Amino acid sequence: MADSSWEIPPGTVYLGNGHSGISGSDRDVNGRVVLHPQPSNDPNEPLNWPIHEKAINFSIACLFTLMVFETLDVGTVTWNAMEAELGFGYDFLNASYAAALAGLAVGCILFAPAALVFGRKPVLAGLAGSTNDTIIQISISDLFFVRQRATLTGVYTIMVVIGTYLSMIPAGYIVMNQGWRWVWWWYATLNTVIIILFVFAYGETRYRKSGNCFIGEEPSTPTPPHEDDTEKKTDSATPCPEAQQTVPVPFEHPTTPTPTRKTYIQRMTVFGSFSDFSIHSYWQHMWRPFILFFRIPAVAFIAIEYSLILCWVAVLATTQPILFAQPPYNFSIGVGNRNIAPFIGAIVGSAYGGPLNDLYVVFMARRREGIYHPETRLHMLVMPMLLTPLGLFLYGISISKDQDLPDSELVLSLRFP
């Protein structure tokens, strides 16, 4: 295994050098499966949960993500009907959409630290969309190992795409057949179902390790005093006749029992242990991301890149119902149908940045004697960084020149790989 004495930057871990056991998992020189983060022997640690419990937890978080992005974007399909019935202008509707995004940004800064202090479940249940983006990434880190995280992030991205794009398709038909108000009634119904699932099936993933041993190791036990050390201490100390006549008591090895699995009620509770809460710790969680942003270039690059992608998603979500409702397009419910093409492109992008990214970092780690560097994941950003601006330019040019539908569909399928 890699020498533990090496001074390595944060995030750099050992993923294995390709020497696999019968199960196909990489193993170190001692024959243990190489996992990072290394799980303890506690069955309550999310990394040790059964696969079906991880799947249920992550699926509910993804459904919650879908509904958050649907809430943000599905309303744009109703803008034409709202303008005709209520007289709201597009400037006012654009401002309302911008206010929602501003609330998400500010809420994430103020309330995301609460998820680290109080737990994921109470914050998601109470603060909803403003912390969704952050908490689902924390949940992926809680539940899955390093070599799995890009794949699960790809699944999360698919949920974002479904909420952003595909939700507009049924919304257009609901506006036509039932009226624009029913879009929100259907949303409230689906949200109620997710809340029920969240209360009765979503387990809290906040976990604090408290000295448990790692899988494959024996529980730690205090080392008995060495006889030579005892003799030296006795010789150096002032002799005591009474103590010298005392019969030595054998050293007993206290055993550390393996923790028991929590009950269903304990796993589903909204209220956990808040013993480590303080205003100082909460404030630290708020300003620490900004320090990392300015001190680590890779963090700053990813933050800016992700914010720009969300910015262009918001621009397209607000321009489509306005521009394509006018000549020469004159779309009504067809505005929602236009999102099929970007959905297909985003699915391809999720596969590229998810499972393929996991395979790539494992491949590169094996070429580096098992050492994984987190910035290795950025190598695959080269293609999206070229195609996304190209797609955006073509989208703007095609609209300005009143291009017909096939050209615009092609542009939308290219812009988000």
Q: What is the pLDDT of residue 237?
A: 45
pLDDT at 34 over 80: no
Highest mean pLDDT range out of 81-85, 219-223, 365-369?
Answer: 81-85
Helix/strand/coil for 225: coil
- Identify which of 12, 32, 24 has the alpha carbon closest to the alpha carbon of residue 365: 12
**What are the pLDDT digits (tens) for 67-119?**
888 887 888 888 888 888 888 888 888 888 888 777 777 777 777 676 666 66
Q: Is 372 exposed, middle or buried (0-12, 13-18, 19+ CB in 10 A)?
A: buried
Q: How many C-beta atoms lie closer than 10 Å to residue 246's C-beta?
A: 8
pLDDT at 369 over 70: yes
Interior/surface letters 325-353, b for 16+ CB within 10 angstroms, e for the rest: beeebebebebbebbebbbbbbbebbbeb
Domain membership flag for residue 83: yes
Domain membership flag for residue 225: no
pLDDT at 227 over 50: no
Domain membership flag for residue 214: no
Q: Which helix (H) or strand (E) holds 337?
A: helix 334-337
Domain membership flag for residue 253: no
Domain membership flag for residue 27: no
Domain membership flag for residue 249: no
- The enclosing domain of 287 has a CATH number of 1.20.1250.20
Kindly state the percentage of the chain with pLDDT values over 70.
68
Domain interval for residue 163: 48-207+268-399
The backbone torsions φ and ψ at residue 409, rounded to the nearest 5 degrees and listed phi first, read -60, -40
**What are the pLDDT digits (tens) for 325-364?**
777 777 766 677 777 777 887 788 888 888 898 889 888 8
Number of domains in the chain: 1
Domain membership flag for residue 342: yes
* The pTM of the whole model exceeds 0.85: no
Q: What is the pLDDT of residue 118?
A: 63
- Identify which of 85, 90, 133, 143 has the alpha carbon closest to the alpha carbon of residue 111: 133
Domain membership flag for residue 388: yes
Q: How many helices (H) and strands (E) does the chain have?
A: 18, 2
